Amino acid sequence: MAKELNIEQLYIIPTTYIIYYDMQRNEGSLFIPLLVLALFVLLLLPIVAPETETFMNFLAYIAMVLPFLRALAGSKYQFLSLIIVSTVIHMVGDACNELDRCVAAYDDARWADIDDYFTNYAMTHLLFVVAFNTAAVEIAVPILVFISLLSVNLGFQSLFLILIGLICLVRGILRISEYYLADLIGFVVMFLTASVIFFMDYEKRFFIFFYALSFAFATTVKRNTNHFLAFLMPSDPKYKPVEGMREDL
């Protein structure tokens, strides 16, 4: 007897296919921005219907599909690993807190601390990916891991993130010509929003939403990659770039 698909599978499978198809064509369409907007509106639903909060907390993870497929399309496998592990860690924590379905030895493993460690590391890693080249990021990984552990244990995660953020901001300003400015602004807005929500310990579903968009922007913010905002905006076939123009025009 054929296995039946539940409603979440019926929604996620075709959605994932359409997003990936658009990425492979490297064209913009209204489907993805409308999907992102629709997801954000749905995440507001628990404000007026509290009984939907648990479901919406898990629905928020659909946002992680976008950076996952962006990294897959760009062959950024290090980012894929980071996105997958980060998503799993957050989902395990939410399953225990929201559904009382905990992994074995959840408390003994201090999973809440693991969540903080990895989130702190992932956010600083994002900043370094945007501000520095690949070689510098690889060199910085063990240092970021060590400082992330230290900052969580000492309770100054926010200060640590601010200091790293300022360093990366100076680096970014010095190399501003290497970025798509609109994408860079988008990354900063999404990252700051996610950081404020995380450290204020506000509704986690909103953190996951902006966290996912931060990942999506970080993969394409530099000019040697595909333009993320251009990918989101619908393209007009009537207008084509002009090649071979004279430099004095």
| Per-residue model confidence as pLDDT tens digits over 19-52 | 444 544 444 557 778 888 999 999 999 989 888 8
Residue 40: its pLDDT value, please?
92
pLDDT for res 159: 86
Among 68-82, 171-185, 187-201, the range of highest mean pLDDT: 187-201
Write the DSSP string, the chain.
-PPPP-HHHHHHHHHHHHHHHHHHHT---SHHHHHHHHHHHHHTGGGT-GGGHHHHHHHGGGGGHHHHHHHHHTT-HHHHHHHHHHHHHHHHHHHHHHH--PPTTTTTTTHHHHHHHHHHHHHHHHHHHHHS-HHHHHHHHHHHHHHHHHHHHHT-HHHHHHHHHHHHHHHHHHTGGGB-HHHHHHHHHHHHHHHHHHHTT--HHHHHHHHHHHHHHHTT-BTTS--HHHHHSPP-TT--PPPS--TT-
pLDDT of 222 above 70: yes
Residue 9 has pLDDT above 90, yes or no: no
Rounded mean pLDDT, 145-173: 87
- Tell me the CA distances in angstroms from 111 to 4, 42, 90, one per residue in order: 33, 28, 10
Q: Choose the weakest-confidence range: 4-8, 82-86, 170-174, 182-186.
A: 4-8
Q: What is the pLDDT of residues 53-63, one digit of tens each?
A: 889 989 999 99
Residue 17 has pLDDT above 80, yes or no: no
**What are 69-123's pLDDT values in tens digits?**
888 877 788 888 888 888 888 888 888 877 776 766 667 767 778 888 888 899 9
Q: pLDDT over 70 for what percent of the chain?
A: 75
* 72-76, 188-192, 220-224, range with greatest mean pLDDT: 188-192
Question: How many percent of the chain have pLDDT more than 90?
Answer: 15
Task: Say if residue 14's pLDDT is above 60.
Answer: no
pLDDT recorded at residue 206: 93
At 228 the pLDDT is 56
pLDDT band at 230 (very low <50, low <70, confident <90, very high): low
The pLDDT of residue 181 is: 84
With a cut of 80, say whether residue 189 has pLDDT above it: yes
Q: Is the pLDDT of residue 12 over 60?
A: no
